[in-house]
Structure 1
Amino acid sequence: MNKLRIAVTGGSGQIGRWVIRLLLERGHEVVNVDQRQANEPLTRFFYADLTQRDQVQRILEQVDAVCHLGEIPGLRSGAPHHVYTHNCQAGAAVLQTAADLKLKRAIYTSSCQAYGCFGDYQIAPERLPFDETLPLKPQNAYGLSKASNETYARQVARLQGLSVAIFRFPCVWSWFGEDEPPGHWEWLEKNTGAAPECATYVHVADAARAYVLAVESERTGCEAYHFSAKEVCSGAPLAARLKAHHPDYPTLPDDWPAFKSPMLTDKAREHFGWEPKWNLLDFYRRQFGKDPDFPVVKEDREGGRKRRLMP
């Protein structure tokens, strides 16, 4: 394996910190590009406003590849118009500069919110389970910014030959670990009402490992990929929750395993050898020796974000 010089934008964030750590463990030379230093700096840090092409140019001309995570991570971090314009400007600046400099590889961090059935103002997915061919129908400014940047990525890949891997993540978790399993499971019992985003998630360690595999890959072109835990976060079988709370959703196949994620990750396995290692329900089974079997409730007792439909 050739050692690469890699820029990680947003390297001080939740996923970026893990990406930098794993790339360094592989022997790559890594720089963190962000607007704040990490709490525990692991490598060289460059402050940059990624919407400014000249700042992006000065950094990317020093590297072989870029993992771009440096965008606003959702509508909770700003007004819709600001999230959309900032993310589009930053994404276009990074992707265009990477193409102009003929970098070996670019990884673009998109989101399942580009589908419209994730995030705020969700619509029903066209089918369950679903792979990366599910049409993009974003229903909020954040999802729209990701869909727009995916289009830009495909354009520079087609016109200039940039190799781009697009990552569509569900919710990314980092709060449970192999050495510190949850001490109680009351929250799982409550997680039996509505199932926003089909209860999918991915652990941050599995998400970060995907960047390492993709940036080291020799694949060309532009492809989108899913990364999800093998099972959902649920105290009851997913099909029962969807039937009770999401009657507009398509039904899962009759033989679909009770807790299996409907977000298919076959392409990531075939192209990169990626497999999820972290699965929350495995902790539950080790502790209790069985699957969770809490009853589906009529009301969402979790008190979390409710699914909102577009008016």
Structure 2
Amino acid sequence: MSKKRVIVTGGSGMAGKWVVKDLVDNGYEVVNLDIVPMKDRLVRTVITDLTDAGQVFNALSMTTVQHEFSPSIRPEPIDAIVHFAAIPRIMTHPDNEVFRINVMGTYNVLDAASKLGIKKVIIASSETTYGVVFADLYRDPLYFPLDENYPTNDRHPTDSYATSKVINETTARMFHERSGMDIYAFRIGNVIDVNDYENFPKFFADPEFRRRITWSYIDVRDLAQACRLGIEKDGLGFEIFNVAADDVSSDIPTQELLNRFYPNVPVKKELGEFETLLSNEKIKRVLGFKQQHNWRMYVKA
């Protein structure tokens, strides 16, 4: 049986490199599209400006073999795309550039994928779509836990980054309706790299610091697992999934965090002692996601 061929965009980035590694470790043939090569050269990188539709169309129709001296360098069909390339936050680029790059990059990837007959795309959306993280001032959500049914179109975010992600979800739904392709939008919580656990004692000392992200987190390796599960699950059409750890990134129980920082927000269900406020129930139920890494494995509370 031949390997599945997957394109990862943004595979040179902090989260993307773990997605690439997980796919390679599980027998996938992977090519990275990015503006810089991967540091460890685990797979071949095609330098691609995703805001240029012509470059995207060409890159998605290139060969996925790793070396130009391979027995065959003929392009073969792509099985899936994991689209992570983006400006990952506000305040690093002008707001209009954050919006332009994130929206046009996603549009171009989905447009080319649909015209090339690629049947599966996973796009990186964000917990910021709930309108809390990058609001000008602290803003209460409508309810907890934040789930995929939350009315982001009624309670709009107010920043360019989150707005770009809401638009990308709408674009993804449109391309699914047009082509029938499976597109899964992952609303990803705060991504924690392996070395980031050393910062958790600082988080514990100042619980308000992570109030805006409602103390969410997801280990990069668990995020990579979620992407692979998404690739392996066919036939869902367009779906949105929160990707978050089972627990909060705090040594304070969830209810106490709510009492201190969100006392006026309705809570729709009974919560476990340290249960996440960014619900991951759907991805566990539908894709079979199981958290493998939590902060207690690496940090002493």
Structure 2 counterparts to residues 142-291 of structure 1, below 5 A = 142-176=161-195, 182=198, 186-193=201-208, 195-251=211-267, 253=269, 255-284=270-299
**2:90 aligns to what?**
75
Map Cα deviations across residues 252-280 of structure 1 (whole Å, 9 max, x no partner). Answer: 75x42221102221221222211111111
Amino acid of the residue matched to residue 166 of structure 1? A
Q: Superposition RMSD on alpha carbons, in Å?
A: 2.1
Secondary structure of 2:6's match? strand
Map Cα deviations across residues 111-151 of structure 1 (whole Å, 9 max, x no partner). Answer: 11111022343532211123211111222100000100110
Residues 192, 77 of structure 1: alpha-carbon distance in 2 compared, 3 angstrom cutoff: closer
Amino acid of the residue matched to residue 103 of structure 2? C
Maintained 8 Å contact 2:245/2:280: no
Given candidates 118, 126, 131, the residue that maps to 2:133 is 118
Query: How many aligned residue pairs are there?
Result: 281
Maintained 8 Å contact 1:231/1:281: no
Q: By how many angstroms is 1:87 displaced?
A: 0.9
Q: By how many angstroms is 1:24 displaced?
A: 0.8
Cα distance in 2, alignment partners of residues 20 and 56 from structure 1: 19
Q: By how many angstroms is 1:186 displaced?
A: 4.2
Amino acid of the residue matched to residue 49 of structure 1? D
Residues 229-238 or 6-15, more deviating: 229-238
Secondary structure of 1:199's match? coil
Amino acid of the residue matched to residue 7 of structure 1? I
Cα distance in 2, alignment partners of residues 70 and 172 from structure 1: 14
Amino acid of the residue matched to residue 8 of structure 1? V
Cα distance in 1, alignment partners of residues 271 and 23 from structure 2: 36
Give yes or no for the alignment of 1:108 onto 2:123. yes
Q: Percent identity?
A: 29
**1:128 aligns to what?**
144
**TM-score, length-scaled by structure 2:** 0.87
Residues 105, 2 of structure 1: alpha-carbon distance in 2 compared, 3 angstrom cutoff: farther
Residues 280, 145 of structure 1: alpha-carbon distance in 2 compared, 3 angstrom cutoff: same
5+ long unaligned stretches in structure 2: 63-77
**1:21 aligns to what?**
21
Q: By how many angstroms is 1:29 displaced?
A: 1.0
Maintained 8 Å contact 1:239/1:252: no
5+ long unaligned stretches in structure 1: 293-311
**1:57 aligns to what?**
57
Residues 186, 235 of structure 1: alpha-carbon distance in 2 compared, 3 angstrom cutoff: same
Amino acid of the residue matched to residue 132 of structure 1? E
Map Cα deviations across residues 9-53 of structure 1 (whole Å, 9 max, x no partner). Answer: 101001110111111111111101000112111011100110111
Maintained 8 Å contact 1:165/1:223: yes
Residues 152-161 or 116-125, more deviating: 116-125
